[in-house]
Amino acid sequence: MDVLRKMNDAFRLGDWVALAALMDPHIHIRNDPAWPEEHVYGIEAATDWYRGVWESWGHDARVEEIVDLGDRVLARFTWSIHGQQSGVEGAQAFSEIATFRGGRAENVEIVRRFMDATSRGDREAVAALIHPEVEWHTMAGPLLGVQVVRGREEAVSFIFDGIPEGIENFTAIADRVRELPGDGVLVIGRYEGRGTSSGAKIEMNSASLWRFDSGKIVFFQDWPSEAEALKAVGLSG
């Protein structure tokens, strides 16, 4: 919560160096679609965005209340607006929700724990990391006659029972983990195994998107490459 107050102080002073020092390198700003909606990524772009707001509407944005929501913080402001070109003055109440890196770092750890538990065959540990309403899409699905798996029990059964029926010694290898804007985590790696019927060796690259709710995996989908995964979620490499 102190970070938001410091950011507000830096914004009001026009101290862009101090403001930038308080941001995560992967910062993602998304405003209300009514403004219209914008998506801003990275410290440099975010600093320019704040500077543009400061120059266009003035700098008198005051914190009225900050509410701790766990890994997020809700802040309510009153903005005394003075149009730099029009001279129009007024007051605008607005709110923002800030999500901190600590929550995202925790999500990366959840993925690592999930993959460790899967590799050692720990069904109970895997189930504990999956949200009851999980939605699971995987490239391996069509090989096994499955399009999408929904629900915790079904996902656990698919991982430990469904996959081994079609792929022997199935292994998911993570070569790199990348945090995405919001709560997303992208895992770049590969799958290895052998077809149970054909005996053919299976090797395929993968880029999997993971999303979370209340500290549990609520969505999974993978693609053959990082570029395809990023394109699917509206990002570039």
* pLDDT at site 237: 58
Task: Indicate whether 126 and 228 sit together in one domain.
Answer: yes
Instruction: Assign 127 a pLDDT band (cuts: 50, 70, 90).
Output: very high
Task: Indicate whether 122 and 217 sit together in one domain.
Answer: yes
Task: Indicate whether 44 and 141 sit together in one domain.
Answer: no
Alpha-carbon span 159 to 17, nearest angstrom? 48
Alpha-carbon span 97 to 59, nearest angstrom? 19
CATH number at residue 146: 3.10.450.50
Task: Indicate whether 119 and 46 sit together in one domain.
Answer: no
Please provide the average confidence, as pLDDT, over all residues in the chain.
Answer: 84
Domain boundary among 99, 122, 149: 99
Task: Indicate whether 76 and 127 sit together in one domain.
Answer: no
Say which residues have a Cβ less than 8 Å from residue 104's Cβ, sequence separation at least 6: 26, 179, 183, 185
Task: Indicate whether 22 and 138 sit together in one domain.
Answer: no
Task: Indicate whether 8 and 92 sit together in one domain.
Answer: yes
Task: Indicate whether 138 and 34 sit together in one domain.
Answer: no
Decide if pLDDT at 85 tops 70.
no
CB 181 within 8 A of CB 235: yes
Task: Indicate whether 195 and 78 sit together in one domain.
Answer: no
Please indicate, yes or no, if residue 237 is contained in any of the structural domains.
no
CB 75 within 8 A of CB 96: yes
Least confident of 76-85, 123-132, 160-169: 76-85
Domain that holds residue 87: 2-99
The two tokens of residue 189 are 């790696």
Task: Indicate whether 106 and 59 sit together in one domain.
Answer: no
Number of domains the chain is built from? 2
Please indicate, yes or no, if residue 39 is contained in any of the structural domains.
yes
Give the position of tokens 């913080």. Answer: 73
CA-based nearest residue to 60, from 41, 34, 84:
84
CA-based nearest residue to 139, from 228, 53, 22:
228
pLDDT tens, position by position, 43-69 = 888 899 889 888 877 778 888 888 767
CB 188 within 8 A of CB 178: yes
pLDDT tens, position by position, 8-40 = 888 889 898 888 888 877 788 887 666 656 788
The two tokens of residue 134 are 């999980």
pTM of this prediction?
A: 0.56
CA-based nearest residue to 79, from 63, 96, 67, 65:
63
Decide if pLDDT at 83 tops 90.
no
Task: Indicate whether 190 and 94 sit together in one domain.
Answer: no
Task: Indicate whether 111 and 193 sit together in one domain.
Answer: yes
Alpha-carbon span 21 to 191, nearest angstrom? 39
pLDDT tens, position by position, 131-180 = 999 999 988 777 777 889 999 999 999 999 999 988 899 999 888 888 78
